[in-house]
Every structure is written in structure tokens, then in C-alpha cells.
A and B are shown apart, each in its own frame.
Chain A
Amino acid sequence: MEGKGKMSLNAGIERSWEVLMDSNVLEKCIMGCEKLEQIEENKYEAELAMGIAAVKGRYSSTIELAELDKPKHYKLIVKGEGGPGTVEAVGNIDLIAEDETETTLKYTYDAEVGGKVAMIGQRMLGGVAKMIIQDFFKKLKKELENTKQHT
């Protein structure tokens, strides 16, 4: 399934980029992320616990940041495998500086699921994917605002 969206971040582009690249922030913002460990540069191993429709379970995942073009663009590649099946998702993220304190973030994604999740959850998947992604950016926005307050 595919989708796209955009939102505005209350931070300058450099700062927004910094937060997006911070693995602690990633861990906090990804829904159901229980563990995130760096295995090589821009590549992480994560344990995700997620329920889609009636299929709840754990996914051992790799999260990779690719095509980095600081501070404008990167690609997020997620591959997960677990009891409930498989997930493969690719997200393209573009940042556009509006002014010194505001950045527009645009994203597109393409995700595929396999196994049990596809078998019994496909009706809900579109909605679930949207929810996970919106949740990610909502938390990210909050993170940006929180860190701003600290600085």
C-alpha cells in the first residue's frame, strides 16, 4: 500500500534534520519500538511489538537510513520479520525550509506485508499504516518542541 503526507515542524531545517537522525528520538517515536540498537552507520536493529487487526506479535526489524542528502532528503527502509509475518516499507522524506523556525516535511511511503498479517488483516492495513506514520510524526513534532524548550 502507498501513501503520502506533509506537515510543518516548528524548527529550522538543520535542527529538524538533527532530531530526525537521532536514534534516541527514533526509538521514542516509532510505535511499539522496544529496543533500537545501531549495527552499522545509519543502520539499526529494532524489536517492534505491534498488533494489526487480530494479529499481534513481535517483529525483528532492521531500520536503515539511506540516500542521505543532508538536510533535505533521506530514505527510510524498514524490514521486519516475525511470527505474524513480514513487513517491508520504504519511506521518502523531504525537508523544505520555510524560514528559520519552520520546516515543511513531506513524505511518501510504500509498504508491503506478508503472511498472516496479509491473510487476515489486509482490510485494516491502509488505516493502520496511516495511523503508525501519523503517530510517528506527531511524536516527532513533540520531540522537537520538547528539545527546543531544553535548549
Chain B
Amino acid sequence: MTQSIGTPVNRVEDDRLLTGQGKYMDDIGTPPNTAQAAILRSTYPHADIISIDTSEAEKVTGVKAVITGEQIKQYMKPFSVGVSAPVKYYPVAVDKVRYVGEPVAVVLAKNRYIAEDALDKIKVKYEALKPIVDIEQSLESDAPLLHENVGSNIANHRTFDYGEVNQAFEQADHVIKHKYHFPKYSAIPVETYGILASYENSEDCYTIHANFHGPFVIQAVMAQALGIPGNKLRIVVPKDIGGSYGIKAGAFPYMVLLAITSRIAGCSVKWIEDRQEHLSASSSGTDRVTYIEAAVKKSGKVTGLRMKMIDNVGAYIRAPEPACLYRTHANSTGAYDIPNLHIEAIATMTNKLPTGLIRGYGGQELYFPLERLMQRVAKELVMDPADVIRENIIKKHQFPYKTASGGIYDSGDYEKGFELAIETGKYTEFRRKQQEARKKGKIFGVGLANIVEPSGSNMGYITVALTPEERASSLPKSGCAEAATVSMDPTGSVNVRISTTPSGQGHETVAAQIIADVLGIPMDKVNVVAELDTSTSAWSIASGSYSSRFASLGSSAVFYAAHKVKSKLFKIAAHQLQVEASDLELKAGSIFVKDNPEQKYSLKRAVGTAHWNPLALPEGMEPGIYETYYYTAKNTEPPDEQDLINSSVTYGFVSDLVTVEIDPETANVEIIDYVTIHDAGKLLNPKIVDGQIFGGLAHGLGGALYEELAYDSKGQFLTGSFMDYLCPTAPEMPKVTIKHMETPSPITPLGAKGLGEGNTMSAPVAVANAVSDALSPYNIEIDTLPLSPNYIWRLLAKSDIYQKHKEVNA
């Protein structure tokens, strides 16, 4: 049988998804007497709650209960979070509201209509407080305080020094610096949060069905908040999730909120989030201000970097924040050989929606200033940006490359990838055309971006938020454990259980491909169980598809679990054939002796023996075929005393070249061509790979051109519908050229690396570089996003050179 891994096999998920047989959260039934929930939300960004009068709402026919923060608080402690600031985060406001959209009360009713209508009858008296939304102002000593007991708005603050940073700056020929602002944006899964929660007092146990991303790690946070043992909180994730991109990890506060309302009301409770709620009150990426400066030699070589990154985590810092600041810690210098690095990392809290996971998590915020600065270096040194990149990019012979902050880039050939982008995008030719077009008053530009795509997180990275002294007092965290279970029934068909809670990425397909290859059986004999149940799934600290875990870690666990099964079957066959297991081979459902293929034992018989004839098994072997493998990569040590950390398992590479034209009349940015080169090691399924790249790129272009969760200066949320929060749709997708290189990872057994997030990280800055390049004759620099026509228009209107230029041309 030919190898399935590496071939563009059709997805096994698609038949059911395309014929309406997907099993999403809203497709599972509800127990009798389930109440539907509606949530009253704050209209104030910052206010004390003086009183809540629920009496009128309770009188509405069909209303079962109206529940406020004071009641919820009786059944839980604040959620824990990995920083020392004592922020008290409950899933509902207790005596103060801190962002528009924050839950204030929950109505449970016979149906959603009644529940929504009853919300209007709840009378809340607020006393408005001064809001704060600006990142830098929130750090000032006289800024309005969100959490009085914390004493400031700063939730986390750390500094890191790697190498000889000061020396690099003293010896630099140029110091080039700028401030960049990355906006707050989201990921917008088609399916919003969905939760069905039930409490049973006979067992004092909560069961929550939810389309929840990352069930294990945060399950512990939830159980702890509820003050119950882990096994009294059962979380069940359905087979299908309609997109997450990280955002659905933010469902956890709502899961706890509804679980407690179920307990109070004595019935099951269901809630499907609506789109306005999703935009205003689910979760989002951080907005970040970065001050970045580079020590640069005359040649364009960057010898040192200083970065001050201030992440806005919204009204409450909550798990897994402040991880956005640290997920990319090992790859802070990107694709460049920069040995000296200073980082100051701050997480601040303001009156905005709390943040959490989002595709690219921290990567787009990191690469926006870094790659913008690399282009600025070229501009100030009057060099071609491509030459600055060539001067700094990590060379092939340097792999495995150790970064300043402790990362180990496992494999790659960045120069080759970059040159492939230059060649594919016809860079030199474009530059020539650009010169001619400029003479005709046309505005063309080309942007380059090179990024390192980390995948599979070292669970120790989040503890970088703590000082080495703080870390010393608790259990060190390392590794990246991920489990898979492979079982065979007596007929020889296979069930595989994975814990990556796929939300559309096709994990079932790739898992089936791996099993088919290892056990030499057809893919259709493999059933992949993607549903996750914290009471019955193999427990690990796995976090769903967090940080592109499947290709690096999930697939490795499946691979080794399949090998455990294969090894057991070989032992059974070896025992029957009276040979050594190492002499055996497997092909087309038959186990045979390598040197004497006539001597064989069928796979089916070996499985049958394990189930039906256990007395014929080798001495000491257990009956049955049910193997779980826990995988962890060895290169994921805890952070050391110098804060060196290899925050991810594998590191892929993306090189983008994007060309744009800006319409002088409308200031609209049109992407002419988007070239993206990927090296994600060995590709497991090229069809799925390209789908992931298209999706990641659409999200990245959203960040570049359209998407922003906008607030006014007083903290009012302004983008509560798709009229104002623009998402790219099919017509907005430009021409995309994808090319692959495959430098296998020496870390993972299949040589694969994650790749679903690369362009989400690279596209915002690649487009910003292209637009800056286009507008460089007018002395316009892009230092924030999204690049809407309004924004570009204002920049052009402010540019004297452009205005003069326009007059001349008119």
C-alpha cells in the first residue's frame, strides 16, 4: 500500500459537514425542562453597581430565575491566573462593571424570547466612573484604576536582557527606532459560543457541553474556581466546532457562569451567544504598543534590539494571559540573527473586552513592529529592504539556531525561502515597473515579511511571566504533553481518540492517514473520535489546537500510539510464528517474516487473538488492543534562571511578498498579488495545508485592512455588528501564490511542524510594508492598522508632498 502521509487525501470530515450532518453544539439535544439563558450586559465601560432590582423581571410569565453577581459569587472563587497581581475575575460583574458588554445578570426562562424580554425589566443603578482605554495613559499614576486592590492597572511587568545589548547600541553606526501600535481585533468563527450546563446535586457534579477550545488546561482553572475536585467538572466537547481560531478558549467564564445558574435554578441551562455578544464580550487579541529600536551597522546588520511591549489585556487579566506577551518569546528576533536583545513586557488592564487566544497569538503583535523596523532600517540607510533582509537572515549552516532568548530553531533554510519569494514575486521586475508607474502618478508598492512560525508550546513558557525567584517557589513547568489512544476491535477496525478538539482543521483526516500508514490498513477502516470528554479522555495538559499543536504534537502522539499497537500485534505474531518480533514486517494486512515472507500471520488473526483467545498471548501480555501514548518533545525545558526558554517545539518559516496599488481617488488598497512561501517541515496533507494557509491569510488580511474592535475614547464599543466590524469575505481575497519547501523537523517523528497561523502573523505587516513602500515618495510611514481607505485618505490629506504632487498632476 502506498504511503498516505504527504499526499493530498480528501478530508474525511467533509461528507458530513457538506451534507448537514455535522454535530455542532446546537445539534445536540437538551434535557427536558432546560432553561434558556439571556444575559444582561453593562452599557457602561466603568461604573459602580449601586443596586440591581430584579423583581419586575421575575414576575414575567415563563421566567424561572434572575441571577446576579452577588448570587454567583456564593458558589465560586475568582478564577486563578498566572500573574501575581491579585485581580479578582468573576464571570459576572459583582460590584463594579469594567467594560461595555460585561455580564451583570442572567435571566433563565422557558425560551430565549421570554428571557430576552425580561432583561428589559431588570433595573440596574450605576454610578459612572472615569474610564480608561488608552494603553499608555493606563500606566500613568493618576489613571483611573480598574482594580483598586491591585494598586495600578499593570497586571504583569518583566524585563529581560540577553547578550550584550548596551554594548551593541554603543558600537552601532545607526540607532533606528519607532513606536508601533497594533489594534485589537478578533477571529470571528461562524459558530458563536454554545453552552449546555447541568448541575446534579445528588453527585455534586457539573456537566458542561460546550464548543470549548482547549478543555484540559483551563478545566483545572474552572474546577478550582468552583471549589470542586476536577472529576466533578465534566466538560464534553462536541465532534464539530464551527471555527475557533483560539477565541473559543474564552468561553470558559460563561461555562462557569451558566453552570452556577443551573445549580441555583435546579435545571439544565442552555445559551447560544448572539453575534453582538460575540463581538463585544467574548474574547479578542490584545492591542499592543511597541517601542522598538535597533542597533545597526553600516552594512545594515542589526546587532541588537530593544523592545518595550505593552499589551492591553482588557478589563481583567484572565487565563491564559499574559501568554500573548510570551508565546513568541523564543522567537522574539524573528528570522534574523540578532544576538543581543532587551525586552520589557507589560500587560495592562483597561476598560475593554478581556483578551485571550487568537490565531497567531502574539505573533502579529510581535512581527508588526519588527518587520516594519527592518524596512525602516533599509529606508534610513538608503538600502533595498531585500538587502537588509539578506544581511540579517539566519543562514542555513546556523541550524539548529539558538536565539538570544533561548529558542532552538530546529531546522530551516530561510535564505532559500526568501529568495524563492523574491523570484516568485518578480521583485526586481516590480521595482522597475514601480518607477515607471510613479512617473504616471500611480501608487504601487511591494512589501516583504519574513517570520518564524512557532508551533507546539512548551508549557513552561507561560511561567516566564513570573520572575526566576517567583518560579522557584512552585512546581517547574516543562514539556508539551499530548495524548492519543488507538484501539482495535475484534474485526480489526480502528478507533482513534485525539484531544486536539479540532474546529475544522481536518485532524480526523490526518490522524486516519497516520494510522493507515503505520498499521497498513485502508483509511476507511479508521474512525477518529474527535469528541472530547474530560471524564473519559486521556488526561493531559493538552490545550486543544493551541499554537498549531496538531501537526507537531497531536500527530506525534497518534503516530507513537499506532506504533504501540503495531508492536503489540508483532509480539502476538512473533509468539505464534516462534520468531523474534524484530524479524517481522507488516504489509497489506499481513504480518510476515522479512527473510521468509511465506511465514506469515494475518493482522486480523493477531487482533482476534488479543480479544478472543487471550490464553494464546505471550506470557504476561494483557488481552485487548487499547494503547494510549503520551508524547512530549524533549527540547522543552522550563525557563532557566537567566529566563532562557525554548517556548515552542518546532519553528517553521514563512516568507511573504505582497504587491499593492493604492487608488489615489478612493485611497483603497488593492492587493495585486500575494506570494507566500512556507517551510513547515514535512507536509502531512498538502491539501489541508493549503486550506490552512488560505484561512490564515484571510485572517491576516482582515487584520491588515479591515478588522478592528473599535472603542471611543470614553470606552464605548463601536463595532457591534458586521456593518462596522468588517471581515474579509471571498471577494476580498486577492490572487495568492503558495509555494512550499520541506525541511523536516528533527524533533517530531514525522518531521512535521504546525502551519495554520503563519500568514495571520505575517500578512498584517507584509501589507503594511507594501503600503509604506507605495507611499514612501510622500514621506508616509505606516505605524498602525487596519489600513482602511479612511485611514490612508487622512494620511494622504496630511502629506504636503502628496498635496503638492496632486496639484502638479492636476
Q: Tell me the A residues contacting B by CB distance below 8 Å.
A: 57-58, 81-83, 85-86, 112-116, 118-120, 122-123
30 A-B pairs with C-beta separation under 8 A = A83-B119, A83-B120, A85-B43, A86-B43, A86-B44, A112-B716, A113-B716, A114-B44, A114-B716, A115-B41, A115-B43, A115-B716, A116-B43, A116-B276, A116-B720, A118-B100, A118-B717, A118-B718, A119-B276, A119-B279, A119-B280, A119-B717, A119-B718, A119-B719, A119-B720, A120-B276, A120-B720, A120-B721, A122-B716, A123-B724
Interface size class of B (residues with CB under 8 A): 20 to 34
A58: which B residues are within 8 A, CB to CB? Answer: 120
B residues 285-330 touching A (CB-CB < 8 Å):
none
Distance in Å: Cβ of A63 to nearest Cβ of chain B: 19
A85: which B residues are within 8 A, CB to CB? Answer: 43
Distance in Å: Cβ of A110 to nearest Cβ of chain B: 12
**Binary per-residue interface labels of chain B (747-763) against chain A in the complex, 1 for a CB within 8 Å, 0 otherwise:** 00000000000000000
Distance in Å: Cβ of B57 to nearest Cβ of chain A: 12
Instruction: Tell me if B190 is interfacial: C-beta within 8 Å of chain A.
Output: no
The residue on B at minimum CB distance from A113 is B716
Give the docked Cα–Cα distance between A99 and B720 (Å): 50
Give the docked Cα–Cα distance between A116 and B44 (Å): 10
Distance in Å: Cβ of B118 to nearest Cβ of chain A: 11
Instruction: Tell me if B594 is interfacial: C-beta within 8 Å of chain A.
Output: no
Nearest first, the 10 closest Cβ-Cβ pairs linking A and B are A119-B720, A115-B43, A118-B716, A83-B120, A120-B721, A120-B720, A114-B43, A85-B43, A122-B718, A86-B43
Distance in Å: Cβ of B122 to nearest Cβ of chain A: 10
A116: which B residues are within 8 A, CB to CB? Answer: 43, 276, 720
Instruction: Tell me if B723 is interfacial: C-beta within 8 Å of chain A.
Output: yes
**Would you call B712 and A123 a contact (CB within 8 A)?**
no
Give the docked Cα–Cα distance between A116 and B40 (Å): 12
The residue on B at minimum CB distance from A82 is B120
- B interface majority secondary structure: loop
B45: which A residues are within 8 A, CB to CB? Answer: 114
- Tell which of A58, A82, A86, A115 has the most Cβ of chain B within 10 Å: A115
**Would you call B100 and A119 a contact (CB within 8 A)?**
yes
Distance in Å: Cβ of A127 to nearest Cβ of chain B: 15
**Would you call A123 and B723 a contact (CB within 8 A)?**
yes
**Would you call A118 and B276 a contact (CB within 8 A)?**
no
Instruction: Tell me if B714 is interfacial: C-beta within 8 Å of chain A.
Output: yes
The residue on B at minimum CB distance from A124 is B723
Distance in Å: Cβ of B491 to nearest Cβ of chain A: 56
The residue on A at minimum CB distance from B721 is A120
Q: Do A120 and B43 contact each other (CB < 8 Å), given the known contacts A83-B120, A113-B716, A114-B716?
A: no
Distance in Å: Cβ of B612 to nearest Cβ of chain A: 63
Give the docked Cα–Cα distance between A57 and B100 (Å): 18
The residue on A at minimum CB distance from B101 is A119
The residue on B at minimum CB distance from A122 is B718
Give the docked Cα–Cα distance between A82 and B724 (Å): 23
B716: which A residues are within 8 A, CB to CB? Answer: 112-115, 118-119, 122
Apart from A114-B44, A116-B43, A123-B723, list 10 A-B contacts with CB within 8 A: A82-B120, A83-B120, A114-B43, A114-B45, A115-B716, A118-B100, A118-B717, A119-B280, A119-B719, A122-B716
A114: which B residues are within 8 A, CB to CB? Answer: 43-45, 100, 716
B280: which A residues are within 8 A, CB to CB? Answer: 119
B residues 225-249 touching A (CB-CB < 8 Å):
none
The residue on B at minimum CB distance from A85 is B43
Give the docked Cα–Cα distance between A81 and B721 (Å): 22
Q: Do A118 and B119 contact each other (CB < 8 Å), given the known contacts A86-B43, A123-B724?
A: no
A83: which B residues are within 8 A, CB to CB? Answer: 119-120
**Would you call A122 and B724 a contact (CB within 8 A)?**
yes
Taking a contact as CB atoms closer than 8 A, the residue among B41, B44, B120, B724 that contacts A120 in the complex is B724
The residue on A at minimum CB distance from B116 is A83
**Would you call A112 and B714 a contact (CB within 8 A)?**
yes
B714: which A residues are within 8 A, CB to CB? Answer: 112
Give the docked Cα–Cα distance between A119 and B725 (Å): 10
**Binary per-residue interface labels of chain B (705-721) against chain A in the complex, 1 for a CB within 8 Å, 0 otherwise:** 00000001010111111
A112: which B residues are within 8 A, CB to CB? Answer: 714, 716
The residue on A at minimum CB distance from B719 is A119
Distance in Å: Cβ of A115 to nearest Cβ of chain B: 3
- Tell which of B41, B43, B120, B712 has the most Cβ of chain A within 10 Å: B43
Distance in Å: Cβ of B723 to nearest Cβ of chain A: 7
Distance in Å: Cβ of A134 to nearest Cβ of chain B: 24
Distance in Å: Cβ of A102 to nearest Cβ of chain B: 40
- Tell which of B276, B712, B716 has the most Cβ of chain A within 10 Å: B716
The residue on A at minimum CB distance from B119 is A83
Give the docked Cα–Cα distance between A143 and B712 (Å): 38
B276: which A residues are within 8 A, CB to CB? Answer: 116, 119-120
